[in-house]
Structure 1
Amino acid sequence: MKKLIGIIGLSIVCGNTFAGNTTVTTKIDKLYSYAEQGIFDGDIAILISNPPVGCEGGYWLRKADTLGYKNTLSFLLSAFHSQTTVSLSGNNNELWSGSSNKYCRLDQIALMK
């Protein structure tokens, strides 16, 4: 019985850990940068043509609390200018408050060949 309870508990924790993650392979259509907008200073909005369900606006990135902000921004700019296909992963439980559209917080970007 203890093993069964442990397995159920572990599956609940693991299920919640990954609930809300979204991934899409796409090209970046537009990038918006927000300056002097209060809490949105340095935020980047990423618009794509085929956003996943729950992220219909696209993705967003916050400068203030993203340790890999400079690296991620470099990848975004490179992909945008070269029109390289990217894989974007984000969290639809962290929607951007800077828009009424659903922008998911960007967690990862991968450039594809």
Structure 2
Amino acid sequence: MKKLIYILMMLPMTAIAASEPSPMSKIKRVITYADYGGGDVQVVLETNGTTCKDGYFFNKADPNFDGMLSMLLSAYHAKTRIILDGHTDQKWAGSSGYYCKLYSIRYGF
């Protein structure tokens, strides 16, 4: 029983450890791909995270794709500083660099 409680307590910590926030930074570039990955979007900040050192990605199949793309384009054009949270355990297959799967976008601090 004690082992089960310990395992259940550790599950949320595992999820937290797999996500990394970027430093607050401006967007350097946004690239969309028509075919690769079914419509992948690559985002690079002026300063990316430590593990997500090359940037972030998400694709058309992701929930809230339109909302995330809209927020990124708004922040890019307004030159707003943002924080991106990336899943460090989900590396983009579209590059030899380390691009993390985008989890969330934060701005308005």
Provide TM-score, normalisation by structure 1. 0.86
Alignment of 1:89-100 (within 5 A): 89-100=85-96
Is residue 87–residue 112 contact of structure 1 (8 Å, CA) maintained in 2?
Answer: no
- Aligned to 2:47, what secondary structure does the other structure show? coil
Q: Distance in 1 between matches of 2:51 and 2:17?
A: 12
Question: CA offsets, 1:66-99, max 9 Å, x none?
Answer: 1200010000000011100112111011110000
Residue 80 of structure 2 is matched in structure 1 by 84
RMSD: 1.5
Residue 35 of structure 1 is matched in structure 2 by 34
Q: Distance in 2 between matches of 1:18 and 1:88?
A: 14
Question: One-letter code of the match for 1:13?
Answer: L
Q: Distance in 2 between matches of 1:26 and 1:7?
A: 39
Residue 60 of structure 1 is matched in structure 2 by 57
Residue 69 of structure 2 is matched in structure 1 by 73
Shift of 1:20: 1.4
Residue 21 of structure 2 is matched in structure 1 by 23
Which structure has the greater CA radius of gyration? 1
| Uncovered stretches (5+) of structure 2, i.e. residues with no partner | none
Residue-pair matches, total: 108
Amino-acid identity (%): 29
Question: One-letter code of the match for 2:51?
Answer: G
Q: Distance in 2 between matches of 1:36 and 1:44?
A: 11
Runs of 4+ in 1 over 2 A off after TM superposition: 4-8
Deviates more, 1:45-54 or 1:72-81: 45-54
Shift of 1:42: 1.5
Question: One-letter code of the match for 1:87?
Answer: I
